[in-house]
Amino acid sequence: MIVSRLFKKTLLVMVLLFGFLAAAISLFSAWSLYSHLRSEYESKALAIAESMSQSSAETFVNNQATRVQSLINKFLDVEGVAYAFATTEHGEVIAHTFVPAFPETFRTWLPQKFPQQQFGTKPQTANVELQDRGRFLHIAAPMLAGSAGSLHIGMSLGHINTLIWKAIARIQIITFGVFLVAVAVAYFWVNRIAHPLMALSRYSRQLADHNFDADVDIRSTDEIGELAATMREMAGQLRDHFQQLEEQITIRREAEEALAAEKELLAVTMRSIGDGVIAADTGGQVVLMNKVAEHLTGWSQEEGMRQQVDTVFRLVGIADGQAVDCPAQKALESGGIYELDDNVQLRQRSGQCIDIGDSAAPIRDHQGVIIGAVIVFRDIREEKRRELEHLRAEKLESLGVLAGGIAHDFNNILTAILNNITLARLNQEIPLSATNKLQDAERATLRAKKLTQQLLTFSQGGLPVTQCANVEDILQDAVAFALRGSNITYELSLPQDLWPVEVDTGQIAQVFDNLTINALQAMPEGGLLQIWAENVAPPRGAGSERDTTQKGFVRLYFRDQGCGISEQDQAHIFDPYFTTKPEGSGLGLSSVFSIIKRHGGSVDVHSELGRGTTFTMYLPAANGRPACPSGFEERSVSGSGRVLVMDDEHEVREVLGESLEYLGYEPHFAANGEQVLKRYTEHLQAGRAFDAVIMDLTVPGGMGGKETIRHLCAIDPEVRAIVSSGYSQDPVMARYREYGFCEVLMKPYTLDEVGEKLRAVLHN
């Protein structure tokens, strides 16, 4: 059952009202009933007593107990009479109606309450309480003014209470009945009023919940009906309003979403752009900066926003450090795209200046009106460095090409000169003075050889012929030799577990030689050269991803206490022919750079003027152990056997033949590859096969060593061939074994070198 709150309130009020009414009626009824009944009882008892004293006096006079008993027993039939008894004039009880016995209470109570001598003619009343019997209204009536005794009647007050309670119960029942009827009537009446109100209230709640489809079914013509009609009309208007609003909101939300998506796209794009982007409004205030721009300028977007664009993006001239006009301003002024000059740098917030490339363009709205400018710029330091390096490499390459061009012929010539001098010196008939001259000539030839080698370093053919080697061995030889007779001391500290390196020992020895000479020249007053090294593990990520054979590097330091190199000069010290010393060739450090680079390592310089210079090198670590300890136990170079020499140069064939004879070998000659094959086949068939073959790599207009070895290997798989060349541009010189050669002889070679190589070939 749906009970309206209105009815609940009404019910509550009714309950309170009826409760109050019932209590009031009960109290009033009880009070009036009590007083009424009491007075009625009293008058009843008094009437009995009066009539008795009037009519039956003689019965009492005679003390006829039986008749008195008979009389008083009749009183018990009267409603409310609880007991009756009669006493004589002496107070003796001659008849009573008590069962099982006359109460003891009266023995003391009666004389106190009704003393015989004070007993008048009128009945008297008193309240008495009898144990186990209750409270009574006691009426004592004197018979013949007490001379014939007295009659006592007890009216039960408990009976009065019972009557009162009964009456109250009846009143309550009636009240409750009336209450129920009133509740029922009120329920129907209130409901008649409340139902439309509840419906309206429900309707208004539905409207509040935007449920405009709801309706309220009240069509009456009274005020509630009018209210319902008004609310219906209002609901209709509200529904229309809401619909319009919702449509507008939908449109706006879609637009906002599109805008947000666009903004997001723009922001993501901006963030993702590798170049810095700064946008400014027409007033020159920054309105947008991307992440790269933040990084390059040193300003965060929050800090940079609303700053003047030339505060955030501050440009200075490289030459004078003076401020340069902001390109954005220029773009705004000119209305065209503005490219930055090369000779300006961006001064970061920290004050450091960096090279940048940038351009600025005005931003136009769809009507072509300029609404701001955008600067796009990037860090070009790396670009510039690479450009410099590229330039340097180009220099070296052109030098290398030049050197390579002349080196072949030059080395052939040097080979002839050097070996002839050597052979001449070996002649003991020559006077001592001549011998000294020959020695000087030989020394000059060796210097020429060195120069040629340095030049060849820059050529493409100068690939290092690497082997596993100990750094210490090479260092000891090279440094000690270079510092002979100087006032420089050196300090070598290498860890015990220093890895071996995979290097061309000759080239690396040259590097160490050059660096030592460089230190020597930097400390003309003498000083200390410190050299130390350490293992450098390969970079983890790269190592696991690439070949596991990568062992890492050995890092070497050469530190002198010399005059140092100025910052400007540091950029050029690795350039060929750049030198600050009057006697320098300008090739020392540039060949160091070239050799290390070709080994897959790197070299760097750190110097402060007046405090010395430190060169740092990275050399690739070797996988295995050094194959051969440095030095020879036996420096015997002589041997025996048939050796076929192939060289297109007559002088070289001749001097090499003489050298071989001197060493104890039996030389045979060929001018080109075809002759080698012919001779070798003849000797092989004749059973006098050659023990070794020494072949020039290239023969102009004929088959060189490179081709010949293929055929030779086909004829005799066990052929022992040594390749010889004036310059190492050809990759065969570095990877001779892959082609079938057993050894290599670099021109110009000395008598000793020839002997060593042959001995090595023949005895392996």
Partner 1 sequence: MLWIFPPLDGDAQPQSRDKNNTDIVLGMSAAFTGPSRSLGIELYRGASAYFQKVNAQGGVHGRRIRIKAYDDGYDPGPALENTIRLVNDDQVFALFGYVGTPTTTRILPLLEKHRDKPLLLFFPMTGAQPLREPPYRKSIFNLRASYFQETRRLVEGFLSIGRERIAVLYQADAYGRNGWAGVRRTLREYNLDIVGEATYRRGVTAQADMGEQVRLLRDANPDAVITVGAAPACAAFIRQARQQGWEVPIANLSFTHAQQMAKCLLEVKKGLAPEELTQNLLNAHVVPSLHDTRIPAVREYRQVMDAAQISLPRTAQSTLYTPHRYDYVSFEGFLNAKLLVQMLRRTTPPLTPQRVRQSIYTQRRYTIDIGLPLFFGPEYNQGLDIIFFSTLRNDHIEPLRNWDAFAP
**Residues lying near partner 1 in the complex (CB under 8 A):** 64-70, 73-74, 77, 94-102
CA distance 318 to 24: 111
Reference 660, options 644, 649, 672; nearest CA is 644
Instruction: In angstroms, give the least distance from the CB of 86 to partner 1.
Output: 10
The number of beta carbons lying within 10 Å of the beta carbon of residue 379 is 18
User: Strand 488-493 to strand 527-536: parallel, antiparallel, or no bridges (unpaired)?
Assistant: parallel
The angle formed by the CA atoms of residues 215, 218 and 223, to the nearest 5 degrees, is 125
Give 87-96 contacts, CB < 8 A, sequence gap 24+: 87/149, 87/150, 87/152, 88/63, 88/149, 89/116, 89/146, 89/147, 89/148, 89/149, 90/116, 91/116, 94/63, 94/65, 94/68, 94/149, 95/65, 95/68, 95/69, 96/72
Nearer to partner 1, 74 or 611 (CB): 74
Q: Which residues have CB under 8 Å from 15's CB, separation 6+?
A: 179
How many helices (DSSP H) and strands (DSSP E) are in the chain?
23, 25
684: left (phi over 0), alpha (psi -120 to 50) or beta: alpha
Instruction: In angstroms, give the least distance from the CB of 106 to partner 1.
Output: 14
Instruction: In angstroms, give the least distance from the CB of 81 to partner 1.
Output: 14
Q: What is the DSSP letter of 576?
A: T
Nearer to partner 1, 93 or 494 (CB): 93
Nearer to partner 1, 66 or 435 (CB): 66
Nearer to partner 1, 152 or 747 (CB): 152
Instruction: In angstroms, give the least distance from the CB of 113 to partner 1.
Output: 23
Instruction: In angstroms, give the least distance from the CB of 129 to partner 1.
Output: 20
Reference 380, options 294, 303, 292; nearest CA is 292
Instruction: In angstroms, give the least distance from the CB of 64 to partner 1.
Output: 7
CA distance 332 to 214: 62
List Cα–Cα distances, 220 to 6, 156, 511, in angstroms.
Answer: 20, 65, 115
Nearer to partner 1, 83 or 741 (CB): 83
Q: Assess contact for 742 and 722: CB atoms under 8 A.
A: yes
650: number of CA atoms within 13 Å, CB side? 0
Nearer to partner 1, 87 or 510 (CB): 87
Nearer to partner 1, 70 or 269 (CB): 70
Nearer to partner 1, 99 or 628 (CB): 99
Instruction: In angstroms, give the least distance from the CB of 8 to partner 1.
Output: 57
Nearer to partner 1, 102 or 557 (CB): 102
Nearer to partner 1, 62 or 636 (CB): 62
Q: What is the DSSP letter of 583?
A: T
Nearer to partner 1, 51 or 487 (CB): 51
Instruction: In angstroms, give the least distance from the CB of 134 to partner 1.
Output: 17
List Cα–Cα distances, 637 to 538, 660, 727, 753, in angstroms.
Answer: 42, 10, 24, 8
Instruction: In angstroms, give the least distance from the CB of 126 to partner 1.
Output: 24
Instruction: In angstroms, give the least distance from the CB of 47 to partner 1.
Output: 20
Q: Which residues have CB under 8 Å from 552's CB, separation 6+?
A: 499, 535, 536, 537, 538, 543, 621
In the beta sheet, which residues pair with residue 745? 724
Instruction: In angstroms, give the least distance from the CB of 98 to partner 1.
Output: 6
